[in-house]
Amino acid sequence: MNSISDTFLLNNGVEIPCVGFGTWQTPDGEVAANSVAAAIENGYRHIDTAAVYKNEKGVGEGIRRSGVDRESLFVTTKLWNSERGYDKTLKAFESSLLTLGLDYVDLYLIHWPANLKQFQNCDEINAKTYKALEKILESGRVKAIGVSNFLVSHLEKLLQNTNIVPAVNQIEFHPGYTQEDTVNFCKENNILVEAYSPLGTGQLLKNKKLIKIAKRYNKSTAQICIRFVLQKGVLPLPKSVTVSRIKENAKVFDFNISDEDMKIIENIKDTSRIGSHPDEVPW
């Protein structure tokens, strides 16, 4: 990867720009519109939102405000947990399109797997939900479909019960939490892994080992985290509403982390999962 508009190839031949712009916790309205427009002006071509972020309206506005052709952009949104099941998923997708003000999205993801903690028949629910995504794919209003927060156990069941291998699995991934089992399974099955919370939702930026490495490269700690993800062959989704940080996070293509430093970052054990565990979430 040499630039932010370079792409990974998904398993269905669709190209996906190699850094996505995260929008979780970005307030709807002007903040979402301005930050998305600023990201696009600074070279990002991939925007990640979700129905539950309640900012699809502002994200759509930012996309239009940027003036960049829709076809040059890659937009992801996600199905929220309350809308699982075949019919509800079809309706939720329509609602997301309407709120975004778009006539298609590039990637539609199941946000979280239904789990055993809540549903005896969780595998059946996940398969039915995913079959609605397959139907939407067939309609041409989405270019690729996938999942988020799916562990190996969820993926194995999904692959058994559905027809189209997910193009993407979006999971928590950052220094100190690299979910090797899930990543290896995805690589073996040609599912691209996207890294959410690549900066540990900001918490990793205080990590002393990362700060020390960043100084050696004359880069920021955030840039080291994002570059680390890219060098692992995973697609990072850094979020910011601050223009200077949006710019900084895009400048990760003029240096390489050495193999030795990659190992040090891989072995950072004093950070771990920050988000929820997919088998434990009660929602």
Report d(CA 68, CA 261) in Å as an integer: 37
The one catalytic residue among 53, 108, 177, 196 = 53
Minimum CB–partner distance for residue 24 and ligand NAP (Å): 3
Minimum CB–partner distance for residue 225 and ligand NAP (Å): 8
Task: List C-alpha distances in Å: 239 to 76, 188, 206, 226, 272.
Answer: 14, 28, 17, 11, 19
Minimum CB–partner distance for residue 175 and ligand NAP (Å): 11
Which among 228, 116, 248, 110 has a CA at the least distance from the CA of 178?
Answer: 228
Beta bridge pairs of residue 49? none
- Written as one letter, the residue type at 142 is V
The torsion of the CA quartet 35, 233, 10, 28, rounded to 10 degrees, works out to: -20
Residue 130 annotated in active site: no
Minimum CB–partner distance for residue 135 and ligand NAP (Å): 22
- Closest to ligand NAP by CB, 43 or 275: 275
Closest residue to bound ligand NAP by CB: 22
Judged by the rule CB under 6 A, the positions of this chain that interact with ligand NAP are 22-25, 48, 111, 148-149, 170, 196-202, 205, 220, 222, 237-242, 245, 248-249, 275
Report d(CA 10, CA 20) in Å as an integer: 14
Report d(CA 111, CA 119) in Å as an integer: 16
Minimum CB–partner distance for residue 278 and ligand NAP (Å): 9
- Closest to ligand NAP by CB, 226 or 259: 226
- Closest to ligand NAP by CB, 24 or 104: 24
Helix boundaries (H) for the chain: 30-41, 56-66, 86-100, 122-139, 152-161, 180-188, 208-217, 221-231, 243-250, 259-266
- Closest to ligand NAP by CB, 10 or 38: 38
Report d(CA 256, CA 84) in Å as an integer: 42
Which among 52, 4, 55, 12 has a CA at the least distance from the CA of 192?
Answer: 12
- Closest to ligand NAP by CB, 192 or 237: 237
Active site residues: 53
